[in-house]
């Protein structure tokens, strides 16, 4: 049944269109599609997917597989969870089996107890006990409807929530796994007590944690759930579950600082706003935003800390290929305060007049130097700005930034370009130095880096299995990679057992699940423009056989040397001569 569901999902969902939801930059490259990989940082596209094969593979980080493997990786889901999501999207009725693995059961329990906590806290806020918290919320200009929309809540005093959770069937282990309670030397203690609660809901609509603002005196003012099996702060943006459609419609997102900022903006109708969870912006946040838009405005506090945070975040977004603008609000007001006082129209006007990143950074540098600027000041400013320009992956934008800096500092463009080249050279040297100081971490793909001829042959027979007979006499000694020899044997066997099968790649991957990434890679390797299956497969097989003969000849030659001149056994010498004749045939 599971296999049937998997096949139905793959038949109904085009992997390219599905992945495009997460990687909007996919562009056609022959029969495949390419983009920068969503799983690691890169500037040159090495991520490939194919509708025909139903597979994806990254030649940079070696991640690969089918649509299920992609969703599991990008959303941190179990196989069963990914299957349920995809079946629903494909319109397939799917009833999962009831037996869960230990890890799946643990994740399911955490989801349930977090949902229980969300409902409990919200009900508590709306009850008599939440009167003081509702007064605070009202003072921040939030309506009852907004509180209900975001399901704001109130955590009670110590012990009350734990008792209610246990009465509802949740264990102490569930509460600790969900980050709702912690074990101390004095026993189990609730993580949130007497705080205004903000459910943290990921882009899929799952409750993964909470943020809590203290009511009254005390520190910290804001407290987030500890990281759990469902919650990683650097992978979640507050408000994105509501903001997603608005971001796509407006084709821009606004990055704010906190919960109240996001809620206040959404209440006023500016629903394309989100915020990191009390932590610095990360590359994971940038990748998440890029699924929705390539245009982001960073709204920052105009103090020194805000300026630095804005620049740091903007550079991270830029490196991920996002076009960034920077804006700030007058009078030192927070976004929720400004929009409540001046309204949506004025707030959006400030967003519409946001500065390009290079203009923002240049103005900041100018403000840090006395006027008029000396030649030394300009040198210092250009050196700083080229570090920003170097992070821009778009070549056209880079050149425009160089032109902008040159014009506004009264310099020749070539001087800025020269300094940019020096900056990039220094960065490259620094990266190499840092890499040299790090302990070598070698992955399996690096260890078993195989000759291209073996990869080419396997890729070609997966694409043109009708010509397998042309290479069926190859032996293990003709392959330098035992792993590729194993894949080769499996392809041959799968084809012999299913000569009419159109899914040879899938049959091979099913037989060798531990090699699924390598098989996906082979299936997605491109072929030469003048590819002739029969000719090229035969030539490649001959090349491998010739390499195999050379290896055998080298081994026999070493063996003959151990006997010494005149003492070589006749059978060894005969083998040597046979191999020499075979090698001569290939060379003639």
* HEC assignment per residue over 487-524: HHHHHHHHHHHCCCCCCHHHHHHHHCHHHHHHHHHHHH
Between 481 and 296, where is the model more confident?
296
> What pLDDT shows up at residue 516?
86
Q: How confident is the model at residue 443 (pLDDT cuts 50, 70, 90)?
A: very low
The confidence score (pLDDT) of residue 102 equals 78
What local confidence, expressed as pLDDT, does residue 495 receive? 86
Supply 161's token pair.
């929530």
Q: Which residue has the higher pLDDT, 323 or 431?
A: 323
Residue 18 has pLDDT above 80, yes or no: yes
The pTM of this model reads 0.70
pLDDT value for 580: 75
Contact 193, 212 (CB under 8 A): no
Cβ count near 19 (within 10 Å): 22
In whole angstroms, what is the distance from residue 430 CA to residue 102 CA? 45
Band (287; pLDDT cuts 50, 70, 90):
confident
Residue with tokens 């209900």: 148
Answer whether residue 2 shows pLDDT above 60: no
Say how far apart CA 514 and CA 517 lie, in whole Å: 8
d(CA 37, CA 58): 7
Evaluate the CA torsion angle 493, 498, 499, 500 in order and state its sign: negative
pLDDT at 529 over 50: yes
Do 201 and 154 contact (CB within 8 A), yes or no? no
Other C-beta atoms closer than 10 Å to the C-beta of 217 total: 6
What is the average pLDDT across 339-361? 95
pLDDT of 441 above 60: no
Task: Of 372, 405, 368, 413, give the one whose Cα is nearest residue 387.
Answer: 405
- Name the pLDDT band for 379 (thresholds 50, 70, 90): very high
pLDDT score recorded for residue 445: 40
Quickly state the pLDDT bin for 104 (edges 50, 70, 90). confident
Q: Could you tell me which of 488, 494, 451, 452 has the C-alpha nearest to residue 473?
A: 488
Report which listed range, 314-323, 434-443, 498-507, 543-552, is most confident: 314-323
pLDDT-above-90 percentage for the chain: 47
Assess whether pLDDT exceeds 50 at residue 557. Answer: yes
pLDDT of residue 531: 85
Higher pLDDT, 29 or 231: 231
Q: Averaged over 158-168, what is the pLDDT?
A: 93
Element (H, E) at 481: none
Greatest pairwise CA separation for the chain in angstroms: 105
pLDDT at residue number 588:
53
Q: How does residue 436 score in pLDDT terms, banded at 50, 70 and 90?
A: low
The three-class DSSP label of residue 187 is: strand
Residues β-bridged to residue 201? 207
Beta strands in 20-165 (DSSP E): 27-29, 32-35, 47-50, 55-58, 64-65, 153-154
CA-based angle 64:70:75, to the nearest 5?
Answer: 135
Most confidently predicted of 101-105, 165-169, 481-485: 165-169
Q: Which pairing describes strands 187-190 and 64-65: parallel, antiparallel, or unpaired?
A: unpaired
Residue predicted with more confidence, 125 or 46: 125
pLDDT at 49: 92
DSSP character at residue 374: P
pLDDT score at 447: 34
Q: Which of 320, 384, 383, 317 is nearest to 356 (CA)?
A: 317
Q: Which of 256-265, 389-398, 442-451, 559-568 has the lowest mean pLDDT?
A: 442-451
Q: What's residue 450's pLDDT?
A: 42
Cβ-based neighbours of 552, under 8 Å, separated by 6 or more? 477, 579
Contacts of the segment 133-136: beta carbons below 8 A, 24+ positions apart: 133/196, 133/215, 136/196, 136/215
- The Cα–Cα gap between 191 and 213 comes to 12
Residue 97 confidence (pLDDT): 61
The pLDDT value given to residue 440:
44
DSSP 419: H
- Half-sphere CA count of 147, side-chain side, radius 13 A: 24
Question: How many C-beta atoms lie closer than 10 Å to residue 450's C-beta?
Answer: 15
Which residues lie below 8 Å from residue 564, measured CB to CB, with a gap of 6+? none
Q: What is the pLDDT of residue 8?
A: 85
Confidence label for 1 from pLDDT (cuts 50, 70 and 90)? very low
For the chain, the first-to-last Cα distance in angstroms comes to 57
Predicted local distance difference test score (pLDDT) of residue 448: 39
Name 355's bridge partners.
326
At 3 the pLDDT is 54
What is the rounded CA–CA span in Å between residue 395 and residue 348?
30
Q: Give me Rg for the CA atoms of the chain.
A: 31
Mean pLDDT of the residues in the chain: 87
Structure tokens at 274: 């989100």
What is the structure's pLDDT at 563?
72
**Worst-scoring range by mean pLDDT, 105-119, 385-399, 498-512?**
498-512
Q: Which pLDDT score, from 0 to 100, does residue 430 have?
A: 63
Per-residue pLDDT, 162: 95
Structure tokens of 402? 């160089």
Q: Which residue has the higher pLDDT, 385 or 463?
A: 385
Report whether pLDDT(61) > 90.
no
Least confident of 60-64, 131-135, 208-212, 563-567: 563-567
Residue 544 scores a pLDDT above 50: yes
pLDDT given for residue 98 in this prediction: 62
Please answer whether residues 56 and 46 qualify as being in contact, where contact means their C-beta atoms are separated by less than 8 angstroms: no
pLDDT of residue 70: 92
Q: For residue 129, what are its two tokens?
A: 């006990």
Per-residue pLDDT band at 434 (split at 50, 70, 90)? low
293-314 mean pLDDT: 88
């Amino acid at each position: 049944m599971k296999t049937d569901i998997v096949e139905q999902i793959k038949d109904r969902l085009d992997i390219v269109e599905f992945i495009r939801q997460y990687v909007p930059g996919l562009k056609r490259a022959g029969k495949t599609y390419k983009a920068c990989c969503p799983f690691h940082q890169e500037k040159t596209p090495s991520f490939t997917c194919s509708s025909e094969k139903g597979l994806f593979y990254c030649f940079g980080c070696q991640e690969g597989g089918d649509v299920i493997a992609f969703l599991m990786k990008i959303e941190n889901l179990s196989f069963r969870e990914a299957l349920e999501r995809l079946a629903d999207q494909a319109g397939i009725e799917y009833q999962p089996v009831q037996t869960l693995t230990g890890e799946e059961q643990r994740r399911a329990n955490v989801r349930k107890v977090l949902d229980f906590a969300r409902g409990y806290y919200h009900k508590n806020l709306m009850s008599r006990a939440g009167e003081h918290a509702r007064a605070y919320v009202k003072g921040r200009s939030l309506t009852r409807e907004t509180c209900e929309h975001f399901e704001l809540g109130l955590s009670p005093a110590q012990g009350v929530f734990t008792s209610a959770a246990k009465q509802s069937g949740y264990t102490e282990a569930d509460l600790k796994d969900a980050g709702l309670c912690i074990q101390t030397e004095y026993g189990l203690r609730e993580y949130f007590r007497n705080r205004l609660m903000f459910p943290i809901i990921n882009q899929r609509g799952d409750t993964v944690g909470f943020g809590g603002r203290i009511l009254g005196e005390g520190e910290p003012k804001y407290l987030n759930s500890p990281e759990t099996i469902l919650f990683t702060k650097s992978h979640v943006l507050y408000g994105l579950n509501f903001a997603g459609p608005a971001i796509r419609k407006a084709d821009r997102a606004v990055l704010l600082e906190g919960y109240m900022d996001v809620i206040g903006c959404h209440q006023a109708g500016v629903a394309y706003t989100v915020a990191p969870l009390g932590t610095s912006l990360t590359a994971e946040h940038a990748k998440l935003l890029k699924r929705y838009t390539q245009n982001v405005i960073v709204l920052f506090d105009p103090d020194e800390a805000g300026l630095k945070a804005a620049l740091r975040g903007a550079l991270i977004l830029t490196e991920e290929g996002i076009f960034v603008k920077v804006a700030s609000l007058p009078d030192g007001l927070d976004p929720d305060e400004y929009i409540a006082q001046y309204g949506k129209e004025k707030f959006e006007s400030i967003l519409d007049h946001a500065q390009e990143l290079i203009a923002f950074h240049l103005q900041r540098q100018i403000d840090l130097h006395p006027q008029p600027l000396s030649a030394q000041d300009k040198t210092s400013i250009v050196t700083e700005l080229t570090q920003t320009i170097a992070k821009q992956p778009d070549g056209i934008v880079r050149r425009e930034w160089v032109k902008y800096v040159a014009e506004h500092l009264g310099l020749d463009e070539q001087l800025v370009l020269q300094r940019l080249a020096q900056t990039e050279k220094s960065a490259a040297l620094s990266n190499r130095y840092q890499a040299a100081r790090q302990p070598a971490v070698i992955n399996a793909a690096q260890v078993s880096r195989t000759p291209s001829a073996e990869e080419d042959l396997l890729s070609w027979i997966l694409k043109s299995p009708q010509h397998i007979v042309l290479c069926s006499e190859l032996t293990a000694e003709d392959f330098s990679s035992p792993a590729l020899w194993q894949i080769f044997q499996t392809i041959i066997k799968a084809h012999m057992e299913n000569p009419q099968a159109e899914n040879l790649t899938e049959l091979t991957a099913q037989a060798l699940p531990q090699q699924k990434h390598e098989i996906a890679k082979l299936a997605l390797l491109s072929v030469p423009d003048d590819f002739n299956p029969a000719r090229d497969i035969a030539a490649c097989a001959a090349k491998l056989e010739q390499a195999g003969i050379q290896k055998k000849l080298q081994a026999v030659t070493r063996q003959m040397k151990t006997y010494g001149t005149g003492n070589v056994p006749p059978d060894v010498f005969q083998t040597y001569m046979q191999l020499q004749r075979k090698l001569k045939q290939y060379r003639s």
